[in-house]
Every structure is written in structure tokens, then in C-alpha cells.
């Protein structure tokens, strides 16, 4: 990872307005070779990354002067640490991971929301005793991936329904949430994404019962976020802003043409099932686009972040109560930031 020459950054900055509005014209001002820019993905290429791979395929990052190289981690918790250590320019991570990283003292900050709503869900299948309400969890077996904050989610859901935290039996199954549910090892699973595994179950004809966690009393949060090292936000602001502007353009065009967006994801990961991926992309794209409230692409609600971080403090997951400025900045988003 290298610092960008000032001349390249200045030249690329001229293109940001065109990128932000998506005019479709290549800027004649960006003549230098794009500079290397490492993006640590949160997992293998999948429909959550539809905007990224659309922008890559159509050359929008190159037009911004950035030669973006996505890298797949072996562990979803690794990208945020790679950014903190200076081994990646940006990482895709999750709001909960940002709060936990800051609690550990890692110098990172979220710079944009990619999915500005929870995707994590409680999922069950129709049965003699379906889980159609939190009270139905009494006596049920619930599988999680073993992530500590998923345990906190489950306990908070149970307590919110007037039950003790041990009213349901929790089993940790790692990444085997789907087999646990389909194999009958669990009555419900907590940790599936409604737009990925939820769509998969629907396509299989299993008629899943899905509750995003914010519908069960967990404070709303931004599931997927872009994370940068704190010093990069200060020292290399324009490169990050250009990346987000190019990503906005790619995401908007993905939303306009879901079939082409699915093709871009499939080209990045040929191991994916084409029909399933197309269905997942169609379901995911609304969660990746603007909230329609006049805020710029990628906007993060400071009060919402503080409330979510407060929930983590209340659950004993972090040792302090963070203010929004500890966790995020909206200053690098394309467009005007509302007061």
C-alpha cells in the first residue's frame, strides 16, 4: 500500500463530481495510471458486493484514479485488523465489529454504510411449533455462529419477551447454520442474513420465517460498513472519498440493472449458483442503496450508532460508552452532509 502522489490525487479529485452524479462520461483529467488500492472484503464475493463488482467491471474505480484490488479474508473478523495494521486501504466490516475494535483500542473508523440496516436475522422453518413470535422461543433450541454478540442478541430478545436469558437453549454451530436448521438440530438459527440464506431457503421452497433482529428489539444498526484506519481518514481523505463516489455510481447502476449486477458478482465468484445469486442480488440491492431521505450515499446516523454502542455497553460486550465521533465519520461521503 503506497501513498498517492499529490498530482494524482488532485487530478482524480476533479473527477469526483462526475462520479457522484454518474454522468457516464470518462474524465479527461485522469491521465495517470491508477494507484494501487487494496480493499479487504468481509467474505468471498457475494451479492452483498454487487455495487463493488459492478463498479469494478465498468471501470469506475479506474476513472477515479484507483486500481482497486479486492481481497478475500480467511476470517470475517480479519479485515478490520488488516486496516488497523496498514495492510489494506479500506475494509468491509460490520458496525458491531467496529464497536468491538474500538473497545480493543484499534485505530479504525467507519467511513460509509454499505447496508444501512440489519441483515442478521432469526430464521426458522414451518413446523408443528413455528417460531412466529419471540415468545415462541421458550424451550426452543437456537443455533448461533458462536459470535459473542449473537448470544447477547438472543438474551436481549428473550428478556424483551419477558423471559429469562436461559429460556431457550443455545447451541454454537460455527458456520454451519444452514445444516443445523435443515437437519433439525435447531428450531431456529440466529445469524443468517435474510438476503442470503433467507433467499436460499425461499428458493428451496422451505417457506422460512424470518425476523431481522431490529424487529425483535435489537437497536437498528448498519450491517455492512466501509472501515479505514484513523490516520488514513486524516492523511488520505481524497482517495477514500473517490472510492466511495465510484462505489455509489456502481451501486446505483446495479440497482438499475440487477441482472448485470448479478453477472458481475458471478464473474468474481464462479462457484456461486447462478439462479440463486440472481435472486439474492434482487433481494439485496434495495438494502445497498440510499434511504431516500435526502442523505448522501453511505450516510451513517450518529445517534443510531451511539444507541447501538450503548446497547453493547449495557450487555457487557464493551467497557465504555462511545460517542459517534469515536466510531464514524460522514465527512468523506460524496454530496453535501446534512446538519
Which tens digit of pLDDT belongs to each residue from 223-274?
999 999 999 999 889 999 999 999 999 999 999 999 999 999 999 999 999 9
23: pLDDT confidence band, cut at 50, 70 and 90?
Answer: very low
For the segment 272-282, the average pLDDT, to the nearest whole number, is 98
**pLDDT value at position 284?**
98
Write phi, then psi, for 294 (nearest 5 degrees). Answer: 85, 5
Asked which of 13-22, 51-60, 134-143 is least confident by mean pLDDT, the reply is 13-22
Whether the per-residue pLDDT at 7 is higher than 50: the answer is: no
Q: What percentage of residues in the chain have a pLDDT greater than 70?
A: 88
Q: What is the pLDDT of residues 204-224, one digit of tens each?
A: 999 999 999 999 999 999 999
The Cα–Cα gap between 224 and 295 comes to 17
For residue 31, the model assigns a pLDDT of 60
Task: Give Cα 147 to chain centroid, integer Å.
Answer: 16
More confident residue, 187 or 24: 187
Alpha-carbon torsion, ordered 156, 159, 165, 169, to 10 deg: -80
pLDDT of res. 207: 96
Pairing type for strands 90-93 and 224-229 reads: antiparallel
Residue 59: CB partners within 8 Å, gap ≥ 6? none
pLDDT tops 50 at residue 77: yes
Report the C-alpha gap between 124 and 201 in whole angstroms.
10
The pLDDT confidence band at residue 289, using thresholds 50, 70 and 90, is confident
Averaged pLDDT score across all residues of the chain: 90
Choose between 24 and 279: higher pLDDT: 279
Nearest to 52 by CA among 303, 205, 249: 249
For residue 291, the model assigns a pLDDT of 66
Are 268 and 82 in contact, with CB atoms under 8 Å apart? no
pLDDT tens readout for residues 121-163: 999 999 877 899 999 999 999 999 999 999 999 999 999 999 9
Residue 88 pairs in a beta bridge with none
pLDDT tens-digit map of 291-305:
667 889 999 999 999
Quote the distance between the C-alpha of residue 159 and its chain's center.
Answer: 27
Count of all residues that appear for the chain in the document: 339
Residue 5's pLDDT is 39
Q: Are 217 and 156 in contact (CB under 8 A)?
A: yes
What domains can you pick out in the chain, each with its CATH number? 6-117+222-327 (3.40.190.10), 120-216 (3.40.190.10)
Distance of CA 180 to the CA centre of its chain: 24
- Any idea which residue has 434495495 for its cell? 286
Question: In which band, very low, low, confident or very high, does the pLDDT at 1 lie, cut at 50, 70 and 90?
Answer: very low
The span from the CA of 64 to the CA of 62, in Å, is: 5
Taking 90 as the threshold, does the pLDDT of residue 27 lie above it? no
Nearest to 147 by CA among 226, 99, 77: 77
Reading the block at residue 153, the C-alpha cell is 442478541
More confident residue, 294 or 47: 47
Biggest alpha carbon–alpha carbon distance for the chain: 67
User: Per DSSP, what are the bridge partners of residue 190?
Assistant: 122, 144
Measure the CA angle with vertex 281, ends 91 and 24; round to 5°: 75
What nine digits make up the cell of 133?
413470535
Phi, psi of 7 (to 5 degrees): -60, -40
Grid coordinates representing 318 are 464493551
Amino acid at each position: 500500500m503506497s501513498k498517492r502522489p499529490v498530482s494524482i490525487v488532485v487530478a482524480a479529485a476533479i473527477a469526483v463530481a462526475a462520479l457522484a452524479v454518474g454522468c457516464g462520461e470518462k474524465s479527461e483529467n485522469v491521465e495517470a495510471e491508477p494507484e494501487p488500492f487494496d480493499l479487504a472484503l468481509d467474505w468471498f464475493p457475494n451479492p452483498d458486493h454487487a455495487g463493488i463488482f459492478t463498479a469494478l467491471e465498468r471501470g469506475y474505480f479506474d476513472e477515479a484514479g484507483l486500481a482497486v484490488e479486492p481481497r478475500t479474508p480467511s476470517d470475517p473478523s480479519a479485515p478490520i485488523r488488516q486496516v488497523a495494521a496498514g495492510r489494506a486501504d479500506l475494509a468491509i466490516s460490520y458496525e458491531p465489529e467496529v464497536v468491538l475494535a474500538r473497545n480493543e483500542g484499534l485505530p479504525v473508523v467507519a467511513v460509509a454504510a454499505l447496508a444501512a440496516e440489519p441483515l442478521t436475522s432469526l430464521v426458522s422453518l414451518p413446523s408443528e411449533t413455528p417460531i412466529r413470535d419471540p415468545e415462541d422461543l421458550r424451550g426452543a433450541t437456537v443455533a448461533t455462529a458462536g459470535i459473542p454478540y449473537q448470544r447477547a442478541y438472543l438474551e436481549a430478545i428473550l428478556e424483551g419477551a419477558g423471559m429469562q436469558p436461559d429460556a431457550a437453549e443455545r447451541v454454537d454451530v460455527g458456520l454451519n447454520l444452514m445444516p443445523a436448521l435443515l437437519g433439525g438440530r435447531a428450531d431456529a438459527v440466529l445469524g443468517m442474513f435474510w438476503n442470503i440464506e433467507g433467499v436460499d431457503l425461499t428458493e428451496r421452497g422451505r417457506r422460512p420465517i424470518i425476523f431481522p433482529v431490529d424487529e425483535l428489539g435489537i437497536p437498528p444498526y448498519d450491517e455492512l460498513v466501509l472501515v479505514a484506519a484513523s490516520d488514513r481518514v486524516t492523511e488520505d481523505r481524497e482517495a477514500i472519498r473517490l472510492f466511495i463516489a465510484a462505489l455509489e455510481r456502481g451501486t446505483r447502476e446495479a440497482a438499475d440493472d440487477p441482472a448485470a449486477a448479478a453477472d458481475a458478482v458471478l464473474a468474481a465468484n464462479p462457484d456461486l449458483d447462478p439462479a440463486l445469486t440472481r435472486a439474492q442480488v434482487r433481494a439485496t440491492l434495495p438494502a445497498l442503496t440510499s434511504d431516500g431521505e435526502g442523505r448522501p450515499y453511505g450516510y451513517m446516523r450518529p445517534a443510531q450508532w451511539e444507541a447501538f454502542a450503548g446497547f453493547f455497553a449495557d450487555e457487557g460486550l464493551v467497557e465504555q460508552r462511545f460517542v459517534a465521533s469515536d466510531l464514524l465519520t460522514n465527512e468523506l461521503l460524496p454530496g453535501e452532509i446534512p446538519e
